[in-house]
């Protein structure tokens, strides 16, 4: 069980399972002789890929970021990817029911990120999996998903979002918006044009202070704030950066996925992300890492980017 406290928020990782993905597609132009040192593949060249959702308990809201692959894949897609469909049972094992989720946020609308947004009921009708939840997704993604290119049309399954938009359950985001206090979205172009990272700032009083700062303000229930020593490496910010940096093996600026529609923008977006995430000690959540769902990305003495496990 991966769980941590981020200021006033509690963060936990819930997996929808793992699935096989072609290693060449996963690492784009990076030669196998290099990526195979970091990630094992089978005889068909498949690597094991995770499906990590992030649950944020703010005290007021239960916010679920990303809903995995779901259980509505076609037979043809099941042949490629299987259909692990573990998210609901993993949530249930931790005592979280679909009714407990207030808010669902999708970074983008590829099928492996929003699959459990909806399910088929016993009459075959598409209904929200999380009956009380408000859903959020990038507006640009939804526009694109209606007319995707031939290259990635297979990645968009209308049933995961169109019924929610039509019924008014899904709010479309422009980027740069705060959804609830401490949880906001920001567009990082590269994997797609409109993919958004979800930025979580757990302790309102310590937002601007990086780890190692001398003190941070702790807000007490009685409303008073007092300075207390900042614990070593206490995290203040986490970011679900989604397919911009899908696993710890993709942290290098130039290690993008073959799926990225705008690979040069992936590089620029990673630079923009690290320019804040590294000095401020952010926790990066890795959407597709089957082993290390979150870590702090740092530079080692030689300047190389490394993932420091938490």
Question: Which residues of this chain interact with Zn ion, rule CB under 5 A?
Answer: 110, 243
Nearest CB to Zn ion, comparing residues 243 and 289: 243
Residue 224, C-beta contacts closer than 8 angstroms, at least 6 positions apart? none
Nearest CB to Zn ion, comparing residues 56 and 145: 145
Query: How far apart are CB 239 and Zn ion at their closest, in Å?
Result: 16
Query: How far apart are CB 49 and Zn ion at their closest, in Å?
Result: 11
Nearest CB to Zn ion, comparing residues 66 and 243: 243
* CA quadruple 284, 288, 289, 291: dihedral, nearest 10: 120
Query: How far apart are CB 240 and Zn ion at their closest, in Å?
Result: 13
Q: How far is CA 35 from the centre of its chain?
A: 22
Nearest CB to Zn ion, comparing residues 86 and 110: 110
Query: How far apart are CB 283 and Zn ion at their closest, in Å?
Result: 21
- Alpha carbon distance 300, 113 (integer Å): 32
Query: How far apart are CB 216 and Zn ion at their closest, in Å?
Result: 35
Query: How far apart are CB 129 and Zn ion at their closest, in Å?
Result: 20
Q: How far is CA 44 from the centre of its chain?
A: 27
Nearest CB to Zn ion, comparing residues 110 and 216: 110
Q: Which residue has its beta carbon closest to Zn ion?
A: 110
The residues with which 165 forms a beta bridge, in sequence order, are none
| CB count in 10 Å sphere of residue 230 | 19
Nearest CB to Zn ion, comparing residues 209 and 244: 244
Nearest CB to Zn ion, comparing residues 140 and 235: 140
Q: Which of 42, 177, 193, 183 shows the shortest CA–CA distance to 102? A: 183
Query: How far apart are CB 242 and Zn ion at their closest, in Å?
Result: 7
Nearest CB to Zn ion, comparing residues 110 and 270: 110
Query: How far apart are CB 111 and Zn ion at their closest, in Å?
Result: 9
């Amino acid at each position: 069980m991966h769980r941590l406290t981020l200021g006033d928020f509690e963060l936990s990782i819930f997996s929808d399972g793992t699935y096989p993905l072609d290693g060449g597609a996963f690492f784009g132009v990076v030669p196998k002789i290099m990526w195979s040192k970091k990630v094992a593949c089978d005889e068909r060249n498949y690597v094991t890929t995770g499906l990590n959702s992030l649950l944020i308990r703010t005290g007021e809201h239960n916010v679920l970021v990303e809903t995995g692959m779901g259980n509505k894949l076609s037979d043809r897609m099941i042949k490629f990817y299987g259909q692990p469909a573990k998210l609901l049972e993993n949530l249930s094992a931790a005592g979280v029911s679909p009714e407990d989720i207030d808010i669902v946020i999708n970074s983008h609308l590829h099928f492996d990120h929003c699959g459990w947004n909806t399910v088929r009921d016993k009459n075959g009708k598409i209904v929200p999996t999380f009956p009380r939840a408000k859903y959020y997704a990038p507006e640009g993604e939804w526009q694109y998903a209606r007319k995707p290119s031939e290259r990635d049309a297979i990645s968009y399954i209308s049933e995961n979002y169109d019924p929610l938009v039509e019924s008014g359950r899904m709010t479309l985001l422009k980027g740069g918006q705060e959804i609830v206090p401490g949880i906001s979205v920001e567009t990082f172009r590269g994997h797609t044009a409109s993919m958004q990272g979800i930025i979580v700032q757990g302790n309102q009083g310590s937002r601007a202070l990086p780890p190692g700062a001398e003190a941070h303000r702790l807000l007490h229930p009685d409303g008073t704030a007092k300075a207390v020593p900042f614990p070593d490496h206490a995290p203040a910010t986490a970011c679900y950066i989604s397919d911009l940096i899908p696993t710890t093996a993709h942290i290098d600026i130039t290690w993008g996925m073959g799926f990225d529609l705008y690979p040069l923008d992936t590089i620029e977006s990673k630079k923009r992300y690290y320019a804040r995430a590294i000095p401020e000690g952010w926790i990066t959540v890795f959407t597709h890492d089957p082993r290390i769902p979150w870590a702090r990305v740092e530079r080692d003495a030689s300047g190389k980017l490394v993932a420091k496990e938490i």
